[in-house]
Structure formats: C-alpha cells, structure tokens
Chains A and B, each alone.
Chain A
Amino acid sequence: MPIYSAEHRRLMEMFYPDHHQEYSEVLASLGTFMEKELLPISPRIDTGEVKMGGPRKALLKQGICRISFPEEYGGLGLPFSIYALAIEMLGTADASTCLSVEIHNAVAEGLNLFATEAQKRAHLPRLLSGESLASFTLTEPASGSDAGTMATTAEKKGGEYSINGSKMFITNAGDADLYLVFAKTRKGPSCFIVEAPNPGLSFGEDLRKLGMRGSRTSEVIFSDCRVPEADLVGEEGKGADYAKEILHGARIIVAALNVGIAQIAYEKSLSYARQRKAFGKTISEFQLIREKIADMKTEIGAARLLYLYASRIKESGGDYSSEASQAKVFSTEMSLRACDSAIQIHGGYGYTTEELHRHWRDARLLTIGEGTSEVLRMLIARRELTMSR
C-alpha cells in the first residue's frame, strides 16, 4: 500500500475542497521519497547498522519541515494538518527518524511563535531547510511536565546569561546545532537559544532505549554555558508558558506519529494473516484474527480523525489543548494495542523478529514522552470539569 494512501487523499478532499490537489501532490511526493529512501532501511536504522543522520538530512532537504511555516522564512505556508499527515507517513516509514524530525520541527515552531524577527531570520531558514538540526531541551532528571520545578538556572552576567544544570532524555542531543533550552532566571523559567558547539555545553552517554533506537537520546549538561543576551527567546519568566504552547502542538504530531506506527504494524499483520496457514487454512479466515484486524483498522481510523480534528482547531486559531491531549492519549495507547496485536498475529515470529516487534518498542515511548497519558488525562478532565459547570 502506498504510504500516502487513497484514504489520506480522501481526507484531504473532504478537509480542503479547494486545495486538496496541491496538498495531495506535496504529500504523495513525500510518500514516494519515504517509500524508496527510508522504509527499506528502517530495520537497519533500528539496529544501528545505518546511522540516521544521512537519511534525515535528505528528508529535511525534501522540505518536510517547510510545510507549515510562513513563506518569508522558507516555509510553504500550508496548513498544520498537512504537516501532521506528513508526520503520520514518516511514522510508517521510520519511527526513529520521525521522532527526531518531529522534535526539530517543534523547536522551529517555538521560534516562529515566540522569537524576535531577528532570531527568526537568523535561524528559521536554516532549520527549515535541514541545514541545521534542533533539539528541545526542557525535561530534567527530576522535573518533567511540572516545568516550574526545573533546577537549571540562567544567571545574567553583563551582556550574557550563564546557564548551569542538566537536562535529561533529550532527543537529538549531540547531533543538534541549536538547543532550545529552558532555564530559570530570577523571573522564573525562561527560554534560550544555545548554539553548538559551546564550551559550556556537553552531553552524557547515549541512553540505551527500549525503542526509537535510531534516534540519539542523552543527558545535556550546562556548566557556565554562556549565551549572549540576544539569545533569550521572548520574555524572561515566560518560559513555562512557551513550553506548554509548543507541547500542545507537538502532542498532535506525536498522535500522528503513532497512527503511522500502528499503520505499518497493521499492514504487516494483514499480509502475514493472509499467507500464514494453520489447520489447513490461512489464519485470516479465523474469526479471532479477523476481530484483531477489524479493531486495528477501526482504531487507526479513529485516531487519525482525532488528531486531524485537533489540528484543524489549531489551524482555525481556537484552543485545541484538550483535543491535542485527547488525540495523543488515544493514539499512543491505540498504537500500543495495534502493535501488540501485530505481535500476537505473527505468533512466535512476532516475538522473535526485530523487524516486527520494534514497532511495539517504538510505540511504547509515546505514552510517556511529551506528556504522559496520566498527566494528559488530568488536563482533559480539568477542562471538562471546569467548563461545563
């Protein structure tokens, strides 16, 4: 099945009756690139035989991160949903690359929202073209979604800030050229651009993760890391708000990524169920296998519509934070179910084949990363309970 499928095309027709052809051309072309250049090497990206840097650069060069940005910074000025769909496709082609690209794009998104004109002109064109890579540096060893408790500090000394502390579980650490760093000044959490190399910037060992093994993740350490005053993003003390806003958008994207992972697990299950025989017939003829296939298909479709719904609210300028959380909770948990079913359908081969169980390992990250399911349920329920009184 082509990565940009007939189903995607139909959704574009429904959502964008006036522009769907153009959007479909963009997505179909990206899909072809992913099918030929990424999907075939995806298993070897997981095992580390192929380093992701080259393929990621080629993909960025194609323009995936240009999609939703304004034209004056090198973007294509297309709706956020087009980018979200591109990310779903990339999740199907290779989840590790997708995670890396998604984080990179989220930083660009943050700069576009909160940086000064000069900062945008200096950084966005290079980020959107893939000339430089970005990393989102918020989480700490003892501080996650409760960003206010961060221990990393930024102290103003003359015309500079000195950043001290350490950040944990940072995607693209070591590979990135630009780090969007959150650190506390006297006014509270604030946001900075730190460009690598910087003598005060160093990295821990690459973490040995359960999944997403193609992408680099490690601790990022700041010791008297000096950045010019001009690299403060927005206002001092507003960093937590900025982080929250960036994460709302990223949750839609993580939901899309997980739909992509579920999709590839589903397609593999479908073809295996059709050819594997037991008791004299293909297992696709057994009702209990059919139930799994039907549930996977149904839930993938539902998750896709939910993230696109959140994305369309974002495009229209409305408050989409709860919908983004709903999409992420549902999609990440759905993809775990789907990847689990895929292993079950493949039986012993499912449990023993990297090529198959890696999808479950990849999916497993995202009920945790960028807001755990538990925290997001809190947000969803809070809005429901305070609004409907």
Chain B
Amino acid sequence: MKIAVCVKHAVDETELKVDSGGNPQLKGAPTKMSTFDKNAVEEALRLKAAHQGEVVILTVGTPEAKKTMKEALAMGADRGVLVSADPMAMDTRRTSELLAAALKKGGPYDMILCSEGSSDMYSGLVPPMLGELLGLPYVGYVKKVDVSGQSAKVERALEDSVEVVEAPLPIVVSVVSEINEPRYPTLIQIMQAGKKPVEDLTPEALLPGAGPPVPLVKGMKAQAMARKRVVFEGPPEETAKKLIDALAAEGVLPR
C-alpha cells in the first residue's frame, strides 16, 4: 500500500497564553505536531506493517514545520513532502488545493489519512475537501480501518452510534484519536529521521497562476467562559440525587 498522511505543524494549544485583551499570543508560542495527526501517522504505520508499502508524510508549513515532519519520520514514515507556505495565512481551501496538487504529483496513493481536525483551528475541512478535489471517496471520523485487497472496511465514530462503511480504494480517511495509541519514536529513530528524504515543493510550482490566498482569520479573541458554580449541600444521598437531577436537566446524561 502506498499511504499518504497529511499533518500540520500547529501551535501547542495546551501552552497557549492570552494577553489582557483576550488576544492569543501566537508569536513565539510553543509548537508541535497537531495532536490527532499522530493518530493518523500511527494508523498509516500499522497499515504498512500489515500490508507492506510506503508511508509518505505531507505538510503545508513554514520552515518550522520541519520539526513535525521529522517527528513523523522518526515514528517510522519513509519520506516526506513539505510544501513551503504558512497555513495560518491562507484559507482552508488553499491548503487543501496545495495538498491535493502535491498528492497528485506524487501519487497515486491507495489511502490518504488525515486527522479529524487540527488542534489549533479544528475546522475539520481539509479531509473532505481533499476527497472532493481528488475525486475520491471520503470517510470521516474513523475509529477502525481494515484493508483487504482493494477495499477498506471502516468504522465511523458518530455522536451516539458507530457506522460501518465499506469503500473501494483509494480513499481519503480522517481518523479520531480513539483509533489507536500513537507510538513514541525511539532515540535511534529520532537520530535517523534527519537522514530520510524530504521533498521541498513551492505553492508556485504546485498551483501555477493561482491568485493570492484568501486570509481566513483576521483576529481571534479568547472568551472567558462563565462557570455555573452550583454547590449542593446536605447529606451525600441527597446531594448525589440533586447532582444527577441537575445533570439530567442540562441534558448531559445519556438518555
């Protein structure tokens, strides 16, 4: 199988600081591979272990994205393709077009894996757009993939049910975090990752004549969320009941 994994180098949302005006401090903020992308890489490596083949990592990113590329290669991917552009300075559509062009150039792939959404913007738009742009079936929010021959049986984790779908390869799949437990690259793999080939592509070469991208985000504000701060008092039997009633009234208990 030839598998492509699209990953994003993103701001580490757990380390993000907000200034007094509510503006997230993106400059100089710590960055990392978008959290769920590790699950997509892991799934590709598992499929490769079962079916042989090759795992190629694709990313649209600034030079700093090499860190994420290297991490994915250290996990065990074979090679990388880096499209030099800042995904934070363009709309999701342009990111998807760049990825689709790079996938066409290096393809055909049997499967294109993404995560359900990036941990910074979390629009979840790139995977379906890739399906559309490449004319391939897209299956989203996947928690299990089984490939046999030229088709894949996948389980989609929906809000309150699991949908089992069978699709012919090639397909675009977006995975949820419960699909697997990403491996840690060993120190030897980290040291060797730098020697794996990474192809550099430019937006100009991939999309000649395309106009400037539409900047999607002008500014972001963090909103303080008010907590309800309800305190129940009394003996445990009573407070437990009150708590359950309150949770039921909020609609957060399973029906």
Contacts and interface: CB of A to CB of B under 8 A. Distances in A.
Nearest to A27: B187
Q: Which of B70, B187, B190, B191 has the most CB of A within 10 A?
A: B187
A352 interface: no
A66 B188 contact: yes
Nearest to B185: A29
B179 to A, nearest CB: 18
A76 B187 contact: yes
Interface string A236-272: 0000000000000000000000000000000000000
Interface in A42-87: 61-64, 66-67, 76
A25 interface: yes
A29 B194 contact: no
A30 B191 CA distance: 13
A66 B184 contact: no
B151 interface: no
Category for how many chain B residues contact A: 10 to 19
A76 B188 contact: yes
Interface in B7-42: none
A149 interface: no
Contacts of B74: 29
B62 interface: no
A33 B70 CA distance: 17
A62 B191 contact: no
A31 to B, nearest CB: 11
Interface in B168-222: 184-188, 190-191, 194
B194 A26 contact: no
A62 B188 CA distance: 8
A25 B70 contact: yes
Interface in A99-132: none
A26 B188 CA distance: 9
B187 A62 contact: yes
Contacts of B188: 63, 66, 76
A61 B186 contact: yes
Contacts of B190: 25-26, 29
Contact of B194 (A22, A30, A32, A76): A22
A76 B191 CA distance: 8
A88 to B, nearest CB: 16
A66 B189 CA distance: 12
Contacts of B70: 25
A278 B184 CA distance: 44
Interface string B51-88: 00000000000000000001000100000000000000
B186 A62 contact: yes
Contacts of B187: 26, 29-30, 62-64, 66-67, 76
Nearest to B186: A63
Contacts of A29: 74, 184-185, 187, 190
A21 to B, nearest CB: 9
Interface string A7-46: 0000000000000001001100110110001000000000
A33 B194 CA distance: 20
Contacts of A25: 70, 190
Contacts of B184: 29, 32-33, 37, 62
Contacts of B186: 61-63
A126 to B, nearest CB: 15
B187 to A, nearest CB: 3
Contacts of A32: 184
A26 B192 CA distance: 11
B128 to A, nearest CB: 31
A22 B185 contact: no
A164 B186 CA distance: 41
Nearest to B67: A25
Instruction: Name, among A22, A25, A32, A63, the residue most crowded by chain B CB atoms within 10 Å (CB to CB).
Output: A25
Contacts of A62: 184, 186-187
A63 B187 CA distance: 5
A26 B185 contact: no
A37 B181 CA distance: 12
A130 to B, nearest CB: 10
A61 B190 CA distance: 13
A26 B194 CA distance: 12
Among B74, B185, B191, the one with the most A-chain Cβ atoms within 10 Å of its Cβ is B191
B202 to A, nearest CB: 24
A33 B185 CA distance: 9
5 contacts: A26-B190, A29-B184, A61-B186, A62-B186, A64-B187
5 smallest beta-carbon distances between A and B, as pairs: A63-B187, A63-B186, A33-B184, A62-B186, A26-B187
Interface of A: 22, 25-26, 29-30, 32-33, 37, 61-64, 66-67, 76
Given A33-B184, A62-B184, A76-B188, 16 more contacts: A22-B191, A25-B70, A25-B190, A26-B191, A29-B74, A29-B190, A32-B184, A62-B186, A63-B186, A63-B187, A63-B188, A64-B187, A66-B187, A66-B188, A76-B187, A76-B191
